[in-house]
Chains A and B, each alone.
Chain A
Amino acid sequence: MHLQIDRLCKSFGYGAARKEVLRDVSFAVNSGEFVALVGSSGSGKSTVMRLIAGLEQPSAGAISIDGRPVTAPGSDRGMVFQKYSLYPWLTAAQNVAFGMELQGRSRPEVRERTAYFLEVVGLADAARHLPRELSGGMQQRIAIARALAAEPQVLLLDEPFGALDIQIRESMQEFLRDLWQRTGLTALLITHDLEEALLLAGTVHILAPSPGRIVRSVSVELDHSSMAHLRVSAPFLALREELAQNLRSLEPALPC
């Protein structure tokens, strides 16, 4: 699998109200890679994700998977949103099964894969619970299971832990890193949290705001064997500080 994003531009509105959101964004994601896009609000990072998902059309530039252009949403690109993404009237298991049913898979296959992916995200016991009976972190794990069950070639994660509090966030980051290592999935993560990006991704692209454009790409070569250790290790903190300064310098100065 090779996801290629080529000179992507996006503007909203016409005439005087026209607002340029993205300018010439190019990068690639290959099978098994974990890539992160980091930017502050207004850097158009969510727009990049929506374009790749096919929920919006680019103003210029191209997106392709293995050479095939992306024009509409499809189950080859699974997406996990920041919030509100589980169907509140379906149980956890029914939510996981939802995408597979839309794909028209057979009942036994749906049942088997649902059980398997609930197991993968460690929530087999919660199968019969409604989303409102689950914590925020559990809900996002179900959303990830649902996206994975539809067998996407790439998993798009749009600030998946943005609505969670800090302790749950940290455990979810470990969960996601672990999931990535176990299943060999391909993931593209959008976040405003530099630490999250560096902990999870092998490649981090920094987006500058207004209009959104990639100003720096870093490949993270750190020892990822223990995330708790990594969080406080000197090379990690040094890299984080360097990139954080980079990000800060991109922000327009506050008016005095």
Chain B
Amino acid sequence: MPVVPITTGRACHLDAAMVSGGLKLLKQRLDPASLDLLWVENVGNLVCPAEFEVGEHRKVALLSVTEGDDKPLKYPVMFREAHCVLITKTDLLPYLPIGIAMGTNPVICRLLEPLMGLIRYMPAPAFIPLLIIYFGLDELPKVLLISIGTFFFNTLMIMDAVKFVPRELVETARTLGGRTLPILTRVVAPFIAPEVLDTYRINMASAWNLVIVAELVAATEGLGKRISLAQRFLRTDEIFMGVIVIGLIGLLIDLGFRALMRRACSWAN
């Protein structure tokens, strides 16, 4: 693919005359009639390229997730002019806390919420056969099963918690000179902490259920395994005992979370 570099000199962006000069250079190297598609890669900030036509038919804007969520608000013209916005570096998304990212960033939220909603309704136990086929009977498939069963619930609930952070709290920090990262760590994170702990507490119940489900079908030991063995020998008393022990352990975990919440988030009580 032939490429022609254009220097913009002291300007911060391309204009039509520069592109026309580039086209002349390109014509020396190939027949213009053979062109199917001509890409013009414009440079610079998000201001000038939006307002200078360079003879294009379609405009594509590239936005990387690490640039932050406020770009469409700060540079509305660019995002209005673009026919397509490509969000790049999305591979970095898992390294941002996704729920916080979705709660604060409408673009990420709109991209991920339908997908998360879909996966959330897939019953996690249905993944057990696949997990056994791929990962055997070790601990890994159980960890993955619990992740599948709780990650999306947790993420969506944390996203909702972030959406309910009062606007005034964030704006106060901004008028005191706070920037995005300190606002996330010092305003958003402490405000949602009680909700996050509560979300974990609620979803712990399904995580705990999934441990037992995994042990019922794919384990060599554990409470679930004991129950399925007892079933084989019709020892209903052992089954009852197993269920009660499972319930008690769940209750202890729940109480632990409540105690943690009382201590860590006393302001919210």
- Chain A positions 144 through 160: 1 when the CB is less than 8 Å from some CB of chain B, otherwise 0: 00110010000010000
- List the one stretch of B31-39, B112-120, B168-176 in contact with chain A: B168-176
B172 near A79 (CB under 8 angstroms)? Answer: yes
A83 near B168 (CB under 8 angstroms)? Answer: yes
B176 near A55 (CB under 8 angstroms)? Answer: no
Q: Which A-chain residue is minimally distant from B172 (CB atoms)?
A: A85
- List the one stretch of A69-77, A120-128, A236-244 in contact with chain B: A69-77
A81 near B267 (CB under 8 angstroms)? Answer: no
| A-side contacts of B171, CB under 8 Å | 53, 55, 73, 79, 81
- Chain A positions 25 through 59: 1 when the CB is less than 8 Å from some CB of chain B, otherwise 0: 00000000000000000000000000001110000
Interface size class of A (residues with CB under 8 A): 20 to 34
CA distance A104 to B172 in the complex (A): 17
B157 contacts chain A at the CB level, 8 A cutoff: no
B176 near A78 (CB under 8 angstroms)? Answer: yes
A150 near B176 (CB under 8 angstroms)? Answer: yes
CA distance A1 to B182 in the complex (A): 29
| A-side contacts of B246, CB under 8 Å | none
- List the one stretch of A95-103, A108-116, A200-208, A212-220 in contact with chain B: A95-103
| A-side contacts of B268, CB under 8 Å | 88-89
A132 contacts chain B at the CB level, 8 A cutoff: yes
A74 near B177 (CB under 8 angstroms)? Answer: yes
| A-side contacts of B190, CB under 8 Å | 87, 89
CA distance A81 to B177 in the complex (A): 16
CA distance A103 to B175 in the complex (A): 11
**CB-CB under 8 A for A75 and B175, given A84-B169, A87-B190, A89-B191:** yes
CA distance A73 to B176 in the complex (A): 8
A81 near B176 (CB under 8 angstroms)? Answer: no
B230 contacts chain A at the CB level, 8 A cutoff: no
CB A76 to nearest CB in B, in angstroms, measures 9
Chain B at the A interface: mostly helix, strand, loop or mixed? helix
B211 contacts chain A at the CB level, 8 A cutoff: no
How many B residues have CB within 8 A of the partner chain? Answer: 20
CB A63 to nearest CB in B, in angstroms, measures 14
| B-side contacts of A143, CB under 8 Å | 172
Q: Which B-chain residue is minimally distant from A14 (CB atoms)?
A: B80
Q: Pick the contact of A75: B168, B177, B186, B193 (CB < 8 A).
A: B177
CB B176 to nearest CB in A, in angstroms, measures 3
CB B193 to nearest CB in A, in angstroms, measures 8
A102 near B175 (CB under 8 angstroms)? Answer: no
A230 contacts chain B at the CB level, 8 A cutoff: no
| A-side contacts of B182, CB under 8 Å | 102
**CB-CB under 8 A for A130 and B176, given A84-B168, A85-B169:** no
A98 near B168 (CB under 8 angstroms)? Answer: no
| B-side contacts of A55, CB under 8 Å | 171, 174-175
CB A179 to nearest CB in B, in angstroms, measures 19
A77 near B175 (CB under 8 angstroms)? Answer: yes
**CB-CB under 8 A for A99 and B166, given A55-B171, A88-B267, A130-B267:** no
| B-side contacts of A150, CB under 8 Å | 176-177
CB A70 to nearest CB in B, in angstroms, measures 12
Most buried by A among B166, B174, B176, B186: B176
Most buried by A among B168, B175, B186: B175
CA distance A73 to B171 in the complex (A): 9
CA distance A87 to B185 in the complex (A): 13
Chain B stretch 130-188: residues in CB contact (< 8 A) with chain A: 166, 168-169, 171-178, 182, 186-187
Q: Which A-chain residue is minimally distant from B178 (CB atoms)?
A: A102
B26 contacts chain A at the CB level, 8 A cutoff: no
CA distance A98 to B178 in the complex (A): 10
CB B187 to nearest CB in A, in angstroms, measures 7
Chain B stretch 22-43: residues in CB contact (< 8 A) with chain A: none
A102 near B176 (CB under 8 angstroms)? Answer: yes
Chain B stretch 69-107: residues in CB contact (< 8 A) with chain A: none
CB B67 to nearest CB in A, in angstroms, measures 16
B177 near A103 (CB under 8 angstroms)? Answer: yes
| A-side contacts of B193, CB under 8 Å | 89
B166 near A102 (CB under 8 angstroms)? Answer: no
Interface residues of A (CB under 8 A from B): 53-55, 73-75, 77-79, 81, 83-85, 87-89, 98-99, 102-103, 130, 132, 143, 146-147, 150, 156
CB pairs A–B below 8 angstroms (26 shown) = A53-B171, A55-B171, A74-B177, A75-B175, A75-B176, A78-B175, A78-B176, A79-B171, A79-B172, A79-B175, A81-B172, A83-B168, A84-B166, A85-B168, A85-B172, A88-B191, A89-B267, A98-B176, A99-B177, A102-B177, A102-B182, A102-B186, A103-B176, A130-B267, A132-B267, A150-B177
Query: Sorted from nearest, which 10 A-B pairs have the closest CB atoms?
Result: A99-B176, A75-B177, A73-B174, A79-B175, A89-B267, A84-B168, A81-B168, A84-B166, A102-B178, A89-B190
